[in-house]
Amino acid sequence: MDKLVIEGGRRLSGEVRISGAKNSALPIMAATLLTDQPCTIHNVPKLRDTLTMIKLLESLGKVTRYEKGKLVVLGKGPIKDTAPYDLVSTMRGSFCVLGPLLGKLRRARVSLPGGCVIGIRPVDLHVKGLKALGAEMTTDAGYIVAKAKRLRGARIYLGGVFGSSVLATANVMMAAVLANGETIIESAACEPEIEDLGNFLVRMGAHVIGHGTPRIIIRGVKELLGADHSIIADRIEAGTFILMSVATRSDLTIRDAYHGHLLSLIDVLESIGVRFEYTDDVIRVINRRTITPASINTYPYPGFPTDLQAQFMALMATTPGVSVITDRVYPDRFMHIAELDRMGANIRREGLHAIVQGVKTLHGAPVMASDLRASAALVIAGLTAKGLTEIHRIYHLERGYEDLEKKLLNIGAKISRKKV
């Protein structure tokens, strides 16, 4: 097992190129189950999660070739209907094979993904949406079992207690494209990753409109074809590098990133003194040495992303004044507070809220990553801290950040990987 060692207190400079979006790649990879024809997907990041999805596709009967971001998915005969526990349990995103398996085969048996350290994330909206399409949904020995003689279009409301669900929206979309009649999904997730999935389905021959808005309309077709598609840039990776730039009071150029996907983050940062310049696919961060505190609430897109909450907290930890950070998407997503406090931060939790009293500086310390985005927050903290920070359990980072160590070295960070 490896750890990252960061010597903090150095400004960053230069430019970084953003990889393809993990949260877009996973459902698009799953959507290849809807066709027997070849599909080619470009800009697929090399991550633990995408490699796990490749293994899952192969276990279901697909043949894959993956090299330098290009994934080719081929059929070699009938696909299987069971997504096993040993793969689905390692990554919640793999649960998105449920919809395409049901759409293609009219049956599916997919392991329940379970909870995680950022809180239990139930599958009730997935079940609700697929039931509305005519599926019989049961559980059996830790698996969701879905069966349908035929799927029929329906009007489905997918709003939940904490807003819309990206994975549930993806699963219902992928089942509905091969259903009879018209499906209307109300309170659909609006994330760019859902729009990207919709664009891929359209390239496969599906009739989908409204993807990327709260109402998606799908008219079912009899079959889908192969398609060629390029994954959008990862807005969360781009946002993480923006926050690294601001936290280290550095100017940084971020390429292959679309500022329109990050308006909520950019709006907050501009309000506290950060300047930006951008073109269609480049964001330039122009820092002032002094910024002011800010309070945020996370919401589903286009609100402030819960996936940037931990990284934003690491920035506020060294911003003079008091900030209040509220997570209304995953209220238990505060495992990083204890580790930031180990580094000298002054943060306390009160229910949905984290109260951050900015300190002058953080101090390097051994810390433990609890999840993907908490890991990124600890990297930001380590970049700003005095002394050495050791981050353990960095396999979390490898789930969602392609070549992070290399990218940081290229922009001036002093970072190394060592065996534990």
Average pLDDT for 103-128: 80
Would you say the CATH fold of 22-221 matches that of 2-18+234-419?
Answer: yes
How many Cβ atoms from other residues are within 10 Å of residue 161's Cβ? 8
Picking from 73-87, 179-193, 195-209, which range would have the lowest pLDDT averaged per residue? 73-87
Torsion sign, CA atoms 45, 50, 51, 55? negative
Average pLDDT for 94-104: 96
Least Cα distance to 180 among 216, 221, 213, 208 occurs for: 221
Average pLDDT for 286-292: 88
Confidence bin at 76 (pLDDT 50/70/90): confident
Domain boundaries, the chain: 2-18+234-419, 22-221
Per the CB < 8 A criterion, the answer to whether 164 and 190 are in contact is: yes
Q: Who wins on pLDDT, 122 or 398?
A: 398
Per the CB < 8 A criterion, the answer to whether 68 and 257 are in contact is: no
Task: Report the percent of the chain where pLDDT is more than 70.
Answer: 98
Mean pLDDT of the chain: 95
Average pLDDT for 86-102: 90
The CATH architecture that domain 22-221 belongs to is Alpha-beta prism (3.65)
- Give the β-pairing of 252-255 and 15-17: parallel
Check residue 40 and give its pLDDT: 98
Residues 303-317: tens digit of each pLDDT? 999 999 999 999 999
Check residue 289 and give its pLDDT: 78
Report d(CA 73, CA 29) in Å as an integer. Answer: 8
Contacts of 132 (CB under 8 A, 6+ apart): 154, 155, 156
Check residue 214 and give its pLDDT: 98
How many Cβ atoms from other residues are within 10 Å of residue 376's Cβ? 29
Picking from 3-12, 133-142, 159-168, 294-303, which range would have the lowest pLDDT averaged per residue? 159-168
Q: Roughly what angle, to the nearest 10 degrees, separates helices 235-247 and 263-271?
A: 10
**322-327: strand order across its sheet:** 296-298, 322-327, 353-357, 346-350
Q: Against a cut of 0.75, is the pTM above it? A: yes
Query: Is residue 61 predicted with pLDDT exceeding 60?
Result: yes
Query: Is residue 331 predicted with pLDDT exceeding 80?
Result: yes
Fold of 2-18+234-419: UDP-n-acetylglucosamine1-carboxyvinyl-transferase; Chain (3.65.10)
Query: Is residue 1 predicted with pLDDT exceeding 90?
Result: no
Confidence bin at 283 (pLDDT 50/70/90): very high
Report d(CA 241, CA 243) in Å as an integer. Answer: 5
- Residue 140 CB-density burial (10 A; 0-12 exposed, 13-18 middle, 19+ buried): exposed
Residues 153-201: tens digit of each pLDDT? 999 999 988 789 999 999 999 999 999 999 999 999 999 999 999 999 9
Check residue 191 and give its pLDDT: 98
Task: Report the percent of the chain where pLDDT is more than 90.
Answer: 89
Among the options 39, 96, 116, 190, which is catalytic?
116
- Give the β-pairing of 107-111 and 82-83: parallel
Residue the block writes with tokens 């990862």: 234
Report d(CA 46, CA 20) in Å as an integer. Answer: 9
Confidence bin at 121 (pLDDT 50/70/90): low
Alpha-carbon distances, residue 91 vs 80, 214, 259, 281 (angstroms): 20, 26, 28, 30
Report d(CA 389, CA 8) in Å as an integer. Answer: 8
Query: Is residue 115 predicted with pLDDT exceeding 80?
Result: no
Residues 338-387: tens digit of each pLDDT? 999 999 999 999 999 999 999 999 999 999 999 999 999 999 999 999 99
The question of whether 116 is a catalytic residue gets the answer: yes
Average pLDDT for 194-210: 98
Residue-wise over 75-95: b if at least 16 C-beta within 10 A, else e? beeebbbbbebebbebbbbbb
Average pLDDT for 101-126: 80
Query: Is residue 117 predicted with pLDDT exceeding 70?
Result: no
Residues 222-274: tens digit of each pLDDT? 999 999 999 999 999 999 999 999 999 999 999 999 999 999 999 999 999 99
Residue 128 in 3-state DSSP? helix
| DSSP code at position 297 | E
